[in-house]
Amino acid sequence: MKINPTILTNDKDDYAMQVIRDAGFAKELDIDVIDWSLTSGKTITAEESLSVPVDVIYNFDLMMDYPSKAVKVLVEDVRVRKIIINIHSMDSIDDLIEIIEQKGIETAVSFHEPSQYDLIKKYFNKVDSIHIFAIQPGAQGNKFRPEMLEYSKKLRADGFEGEIGLDGGVNKQTLPQILNFPFDVVVVGSAISKSENPKSTYLQLIEMEKQLRNCA
- pLDDT tens-digit series, residues 23-36: 999 999 999 999 99
Mean pLDDT of 108-120: 96
What distance in Å separates the CA atoms of residue 166 and residue 178, rounded to the nearest whole number? 9
* 141 has a pLDDT exceeding 80: no
Question: Residue 192: pLDDT band by 50, 70, 90 thresholds?
Answer: very high
CATH homologous superfamily of 2-215 equals Aldolase class I (3.20.20.70)
What distance in Å separates the CA atoms of residue 112 and residue 130, rounded to the nearest whole number? 11
Half-sphere exposure of 32 (CA within 13 A, CB side): 29
* 139 has a pLDDT exceeding 70: no
What distance in Å separates the CA atoms of residue 201 and residue 192, rounded to the nearest whole number? 6
Question: Residue 136: pLDDT band by 50, 70, 90 thresholds?
Answer: confident
pTM of the model: 0.95
* 215 has a pLDDT exceeding 90: no
Q: Is the dihedral of CA 6, 17, 79, 208 positive or negative?
A: negative
Q: How do the domains of the chain map onto residue ranges? A: 2-215
> Do residues 204 and 191 touch, judged by C-beta distance below 8 A?
no
Tally Cβ neighbours within 10 Å of residue 56.
Answer: 17
Question: Residue 214: pLDDT band by 50, 70, 90 thresholds?
Answer: confident
**Strands (E) located in 71-192:** 80-86, 106-111, 129-133, 163-167, 185-188
Per the DSSP assignment, residues forming a β-bridge with 133 are 167
Burial of 77 (0-12, 13-18, 19+ CB in 10 A): middle
